[in-house]
Chain A
Amino acid sequence: MTPIYNEEIVIAKLHNPDTARQAFGQVVEHYGERLYWQIRKMVASHEDADDLLQNTFLKAWNSIELFRGEARLSTWLYRIAVNETITFLNRERQRNNISVDDDDSFLLNNLEADEWFDGDELQLRLQQAIAHLPEKQRLVFNMRYFDEMKYEDISEILGTSVGALKASYHHATKKIEEYFLSHD
């Protein structure tokens, strides 16, 4: 039976060499799925999301002693995941000779044929519309629309004010609406 997750206890165990590994397993168990989806929505490919998730946890494990509880564990892990994702996207853009000003629709080139995508026409078009958004707006849109995260939580992760996030989300939905209208 999986033990009940108590963040305070888990953090205390993470800082004890004798219990750190077991406690980290609990952290992965607790946050793994939501971090996976956060990454997946940014990179589209399951294989890339899986690799990035492992890198995220590897980085967290290698720097666990730096986590001192100033932020919540979830915020800290999200930040690592977002950084990993952004680094990956930059590398992919470079590999595909795509400028930072261009959109990331190249990520969805074969989405219809992807065995790990079974969305309908609308869902496919939404993913294409999202891929046309600037990176930051995409992050905000995903966190807010799909995950229904509070603006305050997003603000802690991305280090952006709540006001700016609201504006960003508003612009994102407008652009998505425009994309649907122009691609009818």
Chain B
Amino acid sequence: MRQSIEKTTQPMKKNNDILEQIGGQTGYKVPEGYFDNLSARIVEQLPERELPQPEIVTTWQKLRPYLYMAAMFAGIWLMVQAFVAPAVEAEKEMTAALEQEEDLEEYMLYSMDEYTIFETLYADTE
């Protein structure tokens, strides 16, 4: 009896005449009705088994990884707000202040010592 297991779409090329002549016949046979009760006979002989109950996944278990990820991102955002954002803000304020000429002069005067101020004024008068 020839079996029909996942047949290829194209006919198989036989390599020699003998194989072609035989045409895939084995010559084997089985007792009459052997396959009719095969399933029932095999299943009957299977031992009883205590299979593990399928794992029930709760909504919390499904959501947990996403919540952990959200919490992680929230933590990162808070750290940015606490440490990075104020520094950036201060730098912005400083830049804006330095852009105004009056403030710049005031700042320079404030940060210069007396000797440098006099030297600068002297240089300007020359």
Tell me the A residues contacting B by CB distance below 8 Å.
15-17, 20-21, 24-25, 28-29, 32-34, 36-37, 40-41, 44, 46, 53-54, 57-58, 61-62, 64-65, 74, 116-120, 122-124, 126-127, 143-150, 153, 170, 173-174, 176-177, 180
Contacts and interface: CB of A to CB of B under 8 A. Distances in A.
Given A145-B19, A149-B6, A173-B16, A54 B52 contact: no
13 contacts: A15-B51, A17-B52, A33-B35, A36-B38, A37-B3, A46-B28, A53-B42, A54-B42, A61-B49, A62-B47, A146-B26, A147-B6, A173-B16
B32 to A, nearest CB: 11
Interface string B20-44: 0110111111110001001110110
Interface of B: 1-8, 12, 14-16, 18-19, 21-22, 24-31, 35, 38-40, 42-43, 45-47, 49-54
Contacts of B2: 146
B3 A122 contact: no
